[in-house]
Structure 1
Amino acid sequence: MQVFWQLRWFFRQEWRRYSGAIFILCLVSAFELLPPRAIGWIVDGVVSGDMSSSTMFMWLGGIVLLWTLVYVLRIIWRVWLFGAAAKLGTVLRNRLYRHFSSHSPIFFERYKTGDLMARSTNDVNAVVMTAGEGVLTAADSLIMGLAVILVMTTQLSWELTILALLPMPVMAFIVFGFGRQLHTRFSESQAAFSDLTDKTQESLNGVRMIRAFGLEQRQQQEFDAVVDAVGQKNLAVEQVDAKFDPVIQLTIGMSFFLSIAGGGYMVSQGRLTLGDLTAFTLYQGLMIWPMLALAWVFNILERGSAALKRLQHIFDQQPSIVSGENTLEMTGQTLHVDIERFHWGKQKQPAMQHVLFDLSAGQMLGVAGPIGSGKSTLLALLLRQQELQHGQITYGDVSIKAADLHQWRSRFAVVSQTPFLFSRSIAENIALGRPEATHEQIRHAARLACIDDDILQFPEGYYTLVGEKGITLSGGQKQRIAIARALLLEAEILVLDDALSAVDGKTEHTILQNLQATKTKQTVIVIAHRLTALEQADQILVLQHGQVVEQGKHQNLIKDDAWYAEMHRYQQLERAIKEA
């Protein structure tokens, strides 16, 4: 029952539905107590010959009408109850999504995508079932069971009632033990399902690579092993689940045996009439459901408890980056970056240190350096996806730590190294940040990104579906659509994180020229390995081992005999060889 206590916040929120459903349930239980007693009177009347046929049919007609009313009321209270439980599913999934969205990338390094998907589906469904089927079963069985026992004790025979209930304590003790086993095994099966979901998601995302390397057979074997593990965990759950029904059926059979044997003896002694014994047996038939429900309640509650525990574990993970409270009302402010030292996790060696620069509004900043030099780390710190331990990044006079996190990130339009496209039309992908944008605005952004001509060559043009992650497009097309999406957003700061690597030199030059022509108010940060993308930058940072080793404009840097000049000469030679 602990899971009910943990969900008390939702029961308080939906108290009207739950209270109304339980009230109707009480009425239903009271109505269902009348037919057995009425049938007992009919039996006694027929045996004694005191009841006429018309009277008997009148009683039977009344019983049928009563059962019809019970049927309608059961529909009403189930709709109310299950409607509330369905709302719980919506609340939990929305809460999970908001929680996921509030976390930094570190959180998603600890939890795999498949695991989070499993918790958002299977675990939520188990909790919803607890709030719906669990409450229904517990309330129905408890109210009906107590009501029937009360009538059997006060109206018929308390001795026979005690005799019929003798097997119940033994059954309750055994079922409780099975419930503890079920909790443990269901938790393990849910964890195994998380592994299966993650393996499936990983395999589908990497299907091209798997086929390219001819790993289908090996991948199938690994997938079979995961599926077998899930099957074994589910079988372990079913093995415990299968123990409930035999215990319940045996208890019911023993209870009926004791009541019939004891009741027959009492009838023979004149302590009960045949009608009373008939009524008692019918009431005992009503007790079958509460006894069956006892096992079902334990089953549902233990599953729900295990699932809620897994969900609560996620909810307990607090975001490592907390939003500030200062609103950013001003625009066009200077971005001041002073990174004294930054460490990844518990690493002793700093990933970035002694990085100092200012970026005025409307300027273009270029960032270059070898692989692993700290370019992506710098971007993560600017977007506050990672927390700077030593140093300060300010926008105007406001530290980004003190600024409202959503407002700060909304000032950026980022095109990452691996652009993500949704399984929607090209137009919808470009208009992701501005869904209200007109078709002409979408086309204008596409022209600036040099993708408009490519789009028009598709059979359905801008309404062409791109497939999951843009699988139907080339790498260059995906990058340019992502650039168009960022340009349409018209954010204050545009970030191109190696976003031109998949396009040719001519297209790259045209896109950069378009940015130069429209950058009157937009600040641009370009991170690139191909140095031609940085030629128009107002200042360039060259990073190595997380430090700024060169800083200046393109023309000045190529005159120095350092990394930038050497890389520029190499790329110029490579370009000349390709054009020869």
Structure 2
Amino acid sequence: MRLFAQLSWYFTREWRRYLGAVSLLLIIAGLQLIPPKLVGVIVDGVTRDGFGTRQILLWTGVMFVIAIAVYLLRYVWRVLLFGASYQLAVELRGDFYRKLSRQNPAFYLRHRTGDLLARATNDVDRVVFAAGEGVLTLVDSLAMGCAVLIVMSTQISWQLTLIALLPMPVMALFIKRYGDRLHDRFRIAQAAFSSLNDRAQESLTSIRMIKSFGLEERQSAQFADEARDTGVKNFRVARIDARFDPTIFIAIGIANLLAIGGGSWMVMHGALTLGQLTSFMMYLGLMIWPMLALAWMFNIVERGSAAYGRIRALLAQAPDITDGACPLPAGRGVLEADIHCFSYPQTESPTLCSVTFRLAPGQMLGLCGPTGAGKSTLVGLIQRHFDVTDGEIRYHDIPLPTLRLNDWRARLAVVNQTPFLFSDTVAHNIALGKPEATPAQIEAAAKLACVHDDILRLPQGYDTQVGERGVMLSGGQKQRISIARALLLDAEILILDDALSAVDGRTEHNILQNLRQWGNDRTVIISAHRLSALTGASDILVLQHGHVAQRGQHETLAAQPGWYRDMYRYQQLEAALDDEQEPQEVTGHA
């Protein structure tokens, strides 16, 4: 029952709908008490008072009218009650999505995608079912049960009512015990379902890799193990669930036996008439639904309570990155970083140490270094995916943590290492951050990213559906479409995090030339493994093991002994060999 207390905020807000539904349920409960009474009148009238056909038809017509009224009223309360519960689903999922959209990468290190999807779908459905069917069964069972008990006790015989209800306290104890066990087992089963959901999501996302490595049988076996474990845990829930109905029907059977036995004895001794006993048995039949409903209510409410606990646990998690209150000044500003030390959460060794730079509008910062040197970490800190633990990053001479997060990120346009495209048209993917962009603006951004000609070669050009995650495009095409998306934003700061790794050298050169013209008064940060992308940078940081091993412009670094010169010469040699090999291949084919 604690679920109803947890959802009291919603019941209070939607009190009109719930009050209307509850009022109609009470009216229906009152109307359902009339037919058993009329049946008793008809039985006594036929056996004792000599009722004629006209009187029998009259009372039968009254019962028919009551049935029609009950039908119409049930339609209305269902609209009121379930309309309110479905609105709760909309709000819970909206709150859930907003919470997910405000979380930083550290949150997604703790929670798997499949688990989040399970909470947003299956768990929300359980809560909504409890807020609809749970309220219905609670009110209906209590209203009908109390009304029937009052009528049986006051209008027929309180002694017979007491005899018939002897099994009920024992039944209530069993149902309470089953409800507590169901809560714990259902919570475990939902966690297992989350794991199964996550396994399915990972398999579908990586289906190309699975097929290329021939891992279909292995993945199928692992999925079968997860499904089997989920099935076992759900079976344990079903075993508890299956105990409710037999317990209730046994209690009802004993109650009927006691009522018939006690009632027959009272009829034989003149304490009851046959019509009254008939009405009593019909009223006792009406008690079947309240008892079944009560058990069902315990069942669905305990499931809903376990599901709501999982949802609340996630909604209660505050973002690791707190929003600042300071508004960001208008216009372009200087970006400065003075990072003394940064370590990822729950790690002891520092990822970045003693990293400083100052970027004025129109300047370009280049980041390079071996894999794992800290380039993407520095880019993530600039985007405030994490906060600097020792030191600070400032814009307009204001520390980033004090700025409004949305204001700061609105000044950034970012292209990550692994570009993500939505299952939509090429044009809509480019215009993701600027939906009001005109076709001419979209094409201009595509031309800057050197992807316009590739798009025109697609079956429907800019209206081509790219498939889920851009499955029908090459890696280089996806990167260039992502670059076009960032350029269309016309942001003050452009960040390319190894965003040119999948394009050839000539295309890279053309894109960089376009960026220099586009970014005359904009700040550009490029992280790259291919050093030719950094030749036009105002300042280059060579990171090694989280430290700045070298810094300067391209010409200076290319002449200094160190990692940059060695890697640049190696890449030049590699490019020269590739250029020599191409004519040989053409001659061989000829």
- For this structure pair, what is the TM-score category when the shorter chain's length is used for normalisation? over 0.9
Q: What does residue 378 of structure 1 align with?
A: 378
Q: What does residue 68 of structure 2 align with?
A: 68
Q: What does residue 433 of structure 1 align with?
A: 433
Distance in 2, matches of 1:309 and 1:558, equals: 59
Q: What does residue 546 of structure 1 align with?
A: 546
Q: Which residue identity lines up with residue 280 of structure 1 in the other structure?
A: F
The one-character-per-residue Cα deviations of 1:176-212 (angstroms, maximum 9, x if unpaired) are 1111221111111111101100000111111111111
SS at match of 1:543: strand
Q: Does 1:559 align with 2:559?
A: yes
> Which runs of structure 2 are paired with 1:23-38 in the superposition (5 Å)?
23-38=23-38
Distance in 2, matches of 1:522 and 1:58, equals: 89
Distance in 2, matches of 1:387 and 1:154, equals: 72
Q: Which residue identity lines up with residue 155 of structure 2 in the other structure?
A: Q
Distance in 2, matches of 1:213 and 1:469, equals: 20
The one-character-per-residue Cα deviations of 1:523-543 (angstroms, maximum 9, x if unpaired) are 211110101101111111111
SS at match of 1:558: helix
Distance in 1, matches of 2:42 and 2:569, equals: 107
Distance in 1, matches of 2:52 and 2:18, equals: 44
Q: What does residue 291 of structure 1 align with?
A: 291
> Which runs of structure 2 are paired with 1:289-438 in the superposition (5 Å)?
289-438=289-438
Q: Which residue identity lines up with residue 535 of structure 1 in the other structure?
A: T
Distance in 1, matches of 2:441 and 2:380, equals: 30
Distance in 2, matches of 1:210 and 1:140, equals: 53
Q: Does 1:46 align with 2:68?
A: no
Q: What does residue 192 of structure 2 align with?
A: 192
Instruction: Give the conservation status (yes or no) of the 8 Å contact 2:431–2:437.
Output: yes
Question: By how many angstroms is 1:50 displaced?
Answer: 4.0
Distance in 1, matches of 2:489 and 2:502, equals: 22
> Which runs of structure 2 are paired with 1:11-410 in the superposition (5 Å)?
11-410=11-410
> Which runs of structure 2 are paired with 1:436-451 in the superposition (5 Å)?
436-451=436-451
Distance in 1, matches of 2:522 and 2:81, equals: 54
Instruction: Give the conservation status (yes or no) of the 8 Å contact 2:329–2:396.
Output: no
SS at match of 1:198: helix
Distance in 2, matches of 1:436 and 1:262, equals: 79
The one-character-per-residue Cα deviations of 1:141-166 (angstroms, maximum 9, x if unpaired) are 01110111011111111001111111
- Which 10-residue stretch deviates more, 465-474 or 346-355? 346-355
Q: What does residue 496 of structure 1 align with?
A: 496
TM-score w.r.t. length of structure 2: 0.97
Question: By how many angstroms is 1:239 displaced?
Answer: 1.1
Q: Which residue identity lines up with residue 336 of structure 2 in the other structure?
A: H
> Which runs of structure 2 are paired with 1:474-489 in the superposition (5 Å)?
474-489=474-489
Instruction: Give the conservation status (yes or no) of the 8 Å contact 2:328–2:404.
Output: yes
- Which 10-residue stretch deviates more, 191-200 or 344-353? 344-353
Distance in 2, matches of 1:335 and 1:141, equals: 66
Question: By how many angstroms is 1:305 displaced?
Answer: 1.1
Distance in 2, matches of 1:348 and 1:215, equals: 36
Q: What does residue 583 of structure 2 align with?
A: none
Question: By how many angstroms is 1:217 displaced?
Answer: 1.2
Question: By how many angstroms is 1:553 displaced?
Answer: 1.2
Distance in 1, matches of 2:476 and 2:218, equals: 32
Question: By how many angstroms is 1:30 displaced?
Answer: 0.9
SS at match of 2:541: strand
Q: What does residue 584 of structure 2 align with?
A: none
Distance in 1, matches of 2:257 and 2:434, equals: 73
Q: Which residue identity lines up with residue 496 of structure 2 in the other structure?
A: L
SS at match of 1:23: helix
Distance in 2, matches of 1:225 and 1:266, equals: 62
The one-character-per-residue Cα deviations of 1:485-540 (angstroms, maximum 9, x if unpaired) are 11111111111100000000110011111111111332211110101101111111
SS at match of 1:366: strand
Question: By how many angstroms is 1:129 displaced?
Answer: 0.7
Instruction: Give the conservation status (yes or no) of the 8 Å contact 2:458–2:464.
Output: yes
The one-character-per-residue Cα deviations of 1:525-564 (angstroms, maximum 9, x if unpaired) are 1110101101111111111111112221111211111211
SS at match of 2:406: helix
Distance in 2, matches of 1:202 and 1:397, equals: 43
Distance in 2, matches of 1:264 and 1:78, equals: 40
Distance in 2, matches of 1:432 and 1:478, equals: 14
Q: Does 1:522 align with 2:510?
A: no
SS at match of 2:338: strand
Distance in 1, matches of 2:562 and 2:331, equals: 37
Q: Which residue identity lines up with residue 545 of structure 2 in the other structure?
A: H
Q: Which residue identity lines up with residue 546 of structure 2 in the other structure?
A: G
Q: What does residue 587 of structure 2 align with?
A: none
Question: By how many angstroms is 1:417 displaced?
Answer: 0.3
Question: By how many angstroms is 1:46 displaced?
Answer: 1.3
Instruction: Give the conservation status (yes or no) of the 8 Å contact 2:495–2:525.
Output: yes
SS at match of 1:18: helix
Q: Which residue identity lines up with residue 515 of structure 1 in the other structure?
A: L
Distance in 1, matches of 2:562 and 2:400, equals: 34
Distance in 2, matches of 1:197 and 1:347, equals: 29
Distance in 1, matches of 2:269 and 2:563, equals: 109
Distance in 1, matches of 2:439 and 2:150, equals: 72
- Which 10-residue stretch deviates more, 50-59 or 330-339? 50-59
Distance in 2, matches of 1:347 and 1:136, equals: 51
SS at match of 2:508: helix
Distance in 2, matches of 1:313 and 1:346, equals: 21
The one-character-per-residue Cα deviations of 1:25-48 (angstroms, maximum 9, x if unpaired) are 111111111111112112111112
Distance in 2, matches of 1:361 and 1:142, equals: 71
Q: What does residue 462 of structure 1 align with?
A: 462
Distance in 1, matches of 2:517 and 2:388, equals: 34
Distance in 2, matches of 1:555 and 1:180, equals: 73
SS at match of 1:490: coil
* Structure 2: unaligned runs, 5 residues or longer: 581-590
Q: Which residue identity lines up with residue 118 of structure 2 in the other structure?
A: A
Distance in 2, matches of 1:574 and 1:528, equals: 17
Distance in 2, matches of 1:273 and 1:397, equals: 94
Question: By how many angstroms is 1:571 displaced?
Answer: 0.7
Distance in 2, matches of 1:546 and 1:446, equals: 35
Q: Which residue identity lines up with residue 324 of structure 2 in the other structure?
A: G
* Structure 1: unaligned runs, 5 residues or longer: none
The one-character-per-residue Cα deviations of 1:334-370 (angstroms, maximum 9, x if unpaired) are 0111101111123332111111111111211111111
